[in-house]
Chains A and B, each alone.
Chain A
Amino acid sequence: MPRSRVFASNEFGLILLIAVFTVVFGLTTKGFLSPFNLFTLGRSAAVNIMIGLSMMAVIVTGGLNLAVGAIGVCAAMLCGYAIEGLQLHWSVSLICAVALGAGLGFINGFAVVRTGLHSFIITLATMSIFFGTMIFLTRAEAYRNLPAGFGSFGKMKILSYVSPLLIVTLAVALALAWLYRRSVLGREMLAAGARPEAAELSGIRVGQVTVLCHMLSGALAAIAALMLVARNGAAIPSMAGQLGQDWLLPAFLGPVLGGALLNGGKAPVLGTCLGAALVTLLTGGLLLLQLGEFWVQTFLGLLLLIAVFMDKARRSYLAYRNLL
């Protein structure tokens, strides 16, 4: 890659922004660079990145998954039920939870492919159905008596800075990067998202691949929710807000900042990670600046707007350069 391309890339811009804001917050607030704060930030970033990757897995196909939050909470609650209600071993419970996430993703993907409707309306409906069923089955009660290992895993510190959750996220991100860059299946996903007709003609089963993307997204959402369970030490039905809506903004912020195209065909794993990390950094910094925690949401909305404008400007600049 020529040097100018590296500087023009999204990832470089995000690294620059992360560096700048780290310096700004480090100078203006007390304790921003303290080990404890960095540890908390890393832990939040781990969850936010996972949520962003979960959305990215579907954005690749040119669709959306509004049900990420709902799927995540369903998986977390199943994990809680398996441990407390069924007395299963925690490892089996974790696998069940991730499998449920993939299964719910399969329902989404199957409905999208079979009906030919846009995934927006399908996942809007299933988000309501999944969340409603979960609340009905759990009676909106949390599972709080999880094995102590869960909570201590969430609080564990490696080298006093790094949360093990962050390492889980990095491992998943690496696996995804390998999937999209090196594996046949990943290339098929990208092709199916970029040009479904062309992909179909070249022998890719677009329907099957789309369903797989939705299953991947569901499984990643489940992992994100399990990480939240470890952090909270409990599986709480309201941990993603009403219908899981609280996850929507972080879910889109990561991929959009990272340079994913909403009409599909691009999977910027590194960009999504950096985007979600930047959002976490800004949220944490703004809270430390004590500008009022209620304004943080406004700021994140503005950030999303600025990000898409910059992306738009970048792309028209590139188009202009290509024309020359």
Chain B
Amino acid sequence: MVKSSFLSRLSRADWFGPLLAVLITVAIIRTFSPNFLSAFNIQTLLLAIAVNVLIAFSQMIIIAIGQMNLSVGAIGGLSAIAFAGMIEVWGVPAPYAAIAALLAGVACGVLNGVLISVTGISAFVITLATLSIYKGINLGITHAQPFYGVPESVKALGTAALIGPVPMLILPTLIAAAALWFLLARLPAGRFILAVGGNEHAASLSGISVRKVVILAHAISGLLAACAGILLVARLQIGQPSIGDDWLILSFAAPVIGGAVLAGGHVSVAATSLGVVIVALITQALVLFSIDPFLVQVVLGSLILAAVGINRLRQVRLASGRA
């Protein structure tokens, strides 16, 4: 009796479904390909996950307030080339360049938030416009040529290991995950973010400054995107202007697989991270079984559709269960 209620509570948690999916996927891949859990493979997986989790968080925090941010990739790319460019062209030491690039990301996010909350125009249109503006600035600065002058210290960071196969780059991601969880679960600001996403009108009536919350969420989104961009520079060892071009689908796929409600007010840090893990595992499996890499896009799209379908079913089930 007690056990079944515990299980049903567990199965209702956001992270339960994705965790189950991760375990099953790992088990399946492991049986067909014994090399899967080799140290090298785990390291490659974790490297991809470290960056992609940040990208997913960057979108997740905006989904939490019931909006969308198309400019995640553009902010990440602009921060990445700002980081590499400041080091190469102005000779700024890497730590300062990183801080400045993070600030640039925050500034881009704040601009999004201010434009959206002041004008009341849909976030979709505003971030489509700023996507083009940020990407244009990126191309205007770089002329689509990469910055090659990334210093050895940064390159070393990109290949360094924390313990065994666990790469150093996962550290910022872990910190971001913990901070985001703490923010959303424990801090008033995080509760405000979820409240605005759940019901903006009710939130504003209960004394929350919706405008400030929207700007805050976009600032956090910009910060996370910038962080992902900088980590990618360390991983790729060059400041590629094309960083961020392919983030859009992934940034929505992971939170949606993790059960985020696109209408806002309901997101989960753990489930979103697991969503990224699922995507990474499946991508990796396609490579291991030498299935066509071109099919990755099809799989990603199908995953999104399957996830929204399942979420939809679960909502209907919960609603009928309550009634």
Q: Which residues of chain A have a CB within 8 Å of any CB of chain B?
A: 64, 111, 115-118, 120-122, 124-133, 135-136, 139-140, 242-243, 245, 248-249, 252, 256, 262, 292, 294-302, 304-305, 308-309, 312
Contact = CB atoms under 8 A, between A and B. Distances in A.
B132 A136 contact: no
Given A127-B301, A129-B298, A309-B119, A121 B132 contact: no
18 contacts: A115-B308, A118-B262, A121-B308, A125-B302, A126-B301, A127-B249, A128-B300, A128-B301, A136-B294, A243-B249, A248-B128, A249-B128, A298-B137, A301-B129, A301-B131, A302-B133, A308-B119, A309-B121
B262 A308 contact: no
Nearest to B303: A125
A308 to B, nearest CB: 5
Contact of B249 (A111, A124, A256): A124
B272 to A, nearest CB: 15
Contacts of A131: 297
Contact of A132 (B139, B245, B296): B296
A120 B246 CA distance: 17
B22 to A, nearest CB: 21
A294 B132 contact: no
Given A64-B124, A262-B124, A301-B132, A129 B143 contact: no
Q: Which 3 A-B pairs have the closest CB atoms?
A: A298-B136, A132-B297, A301-B132
- Chain A binding site: helix, strand, loop or mixed by DSSP? helix
B305 A122 contact: yes
A132 B132 contact: no
Interface residues of B, number: 45
B52 interface: no
B125 interface: yes
A132 B295 contact: yes
A223 B139 CA distance: 30
A242 B246 CA distance: 8
Contact of A262 (B125, B144, B304): B125
Given A128-B301, A297-B132, A305 B126 contact: yes
Contacts of B128: 248-249, 252, 304
A12 to B, nearest CB: 22
Given A136-B294, A298-B133, A117 B301 contact: no
Contacts of B252: 121, 124
A294 to B, nearest CB: 4
B298 A136 contact: yes
B140 interface: yes
Contacts of A292: 140
A242 B294 CA distance: 12
Nearest to B125: A308
Interface in B194-231: none
Contacts of B121: 308-309, 312
A132 B297 CA distance: 5
A24 to B, nearest CB: 21
B292 interface: yes
Contacts of A302: 129, 133
B305 A125 contact: yes
B248 interface: yes
B304 A125 contact: yes
A135 B292 CA distance: 10
A252 B130 CA distance: 13
A297 B305 contact: no
Nearest to B309: A115
Contact of A297 (B139, B295, B298): B139
A129 B297 contact: yes
A219 to B, nearest CB: 21
B236 to A, nearest CB: 17
Contacts of B126: 305, 308
Interface in B83-137: 115, 119-122, 124-126, 128-137
Given A125-B305, A129-B298, A129-B301, A120 B68 contact: yes
B312 interface: yes
Contact of B119 (A132, A140, A298, A312): A312
A122 B246 CA distance: 18
A124 B304 contact: yes
B303 to A, nearest CB: 8
Contacts of B184: none
A242 B305 CA distance: 20
A121 B132 CA distance: 21
A248 B305 CA distance: 21
Contacts of A243: 248-249, 297
Contacts of B56: none
A118 B312 CA distance: 12
A312 to B, nearest CB: 6
B150 interface: no
Nearest to A127: B301
Contacts of B139: 294-295, 297
Nearest to A128: B301
B298 A132 contact: yes
Interface in B280-313: 292, 294-302, 304-305, 308-309, 312
Given A129-B302, A243-B297, A252-B128, A294 B68 contact: no
A68 B68 CA distance: 19
Given A128-B297, A129-B297, A121 B124 contact: no
A295 B115 CA distance: 21
A135 B89 CA distance: 38
A136 B122 contact: no
Contacts of B143: 294
